Amino acid sequence: MAHSSSSPPVRMAALKRRIARLGLLCSGTLLERTKVCGKPACRCAADPAARHGPYYEWNRRLQGRLHHRIVSPAQARVITQAMNEYQTLLGLLADWEDASAQVILGAERLSPQTRRR
Ligand SMILES: [Zn+2]
């Protein structure tokens, strides 16, 4: 990661390289659930530890609408990793925004201040 004392253009170049290396990105939430099947003879009826599952439910917002989807344990692992990547991206975008503001405000600082009264 670029040190914060680097110039904004150097920081932005480093941010772009890190963003280019990101893989799958997911947002939303992933819930782990267990279920009772309802059969009186099944062990799950009496023993909470014998409930079925776990099942993974991925909730995410697409074009303003909430979508629910049951995913496999393998998919849940990939989604969890992709959610971490998404959080990394948000952090990198915040750094990029900060570097952009430094470029813009730094440029203003170089302009003559004499017109202010
Ligand atoms: Zn059951």
Q: How far is CA 114 from CA 105, 109, 111, in A?
A: 17, 12, 9
Q: What is the DSSP string of 92-114?
A: HHHHHHHHHHHHHHHHHHHS--T
41: which DSSP letter? T
Q: How much is the pLDDT for 95?
A: 96
Distance 70 CA to ligand 1 centre (A): 18
The CA-based dihedral angle spanning residues 30, 34, 35, 39, taken in that order and rounded to the nearest 10 degrees: 160
Distance 32 CA to ligand 1 centre (A): 17
Q: Where are the domains of the chain?
A: 8-108
Distance 48 CA to ligand 1 centre (A): 10
Distance 42 CA to ligand 1 centre (A): 5
Distance 53 CA to ligand 1 centre (A): 10
Distance 58 CA to ligand 1 centre (A): 23
Mean pLDDT of the chain: 90
Residue ranges, the chain, pLDDT below 50: 1-2, 114
Q: How much is the pLDDT for 102?
A: 92
Q: How much is the pLDDT for 1?
A: 47
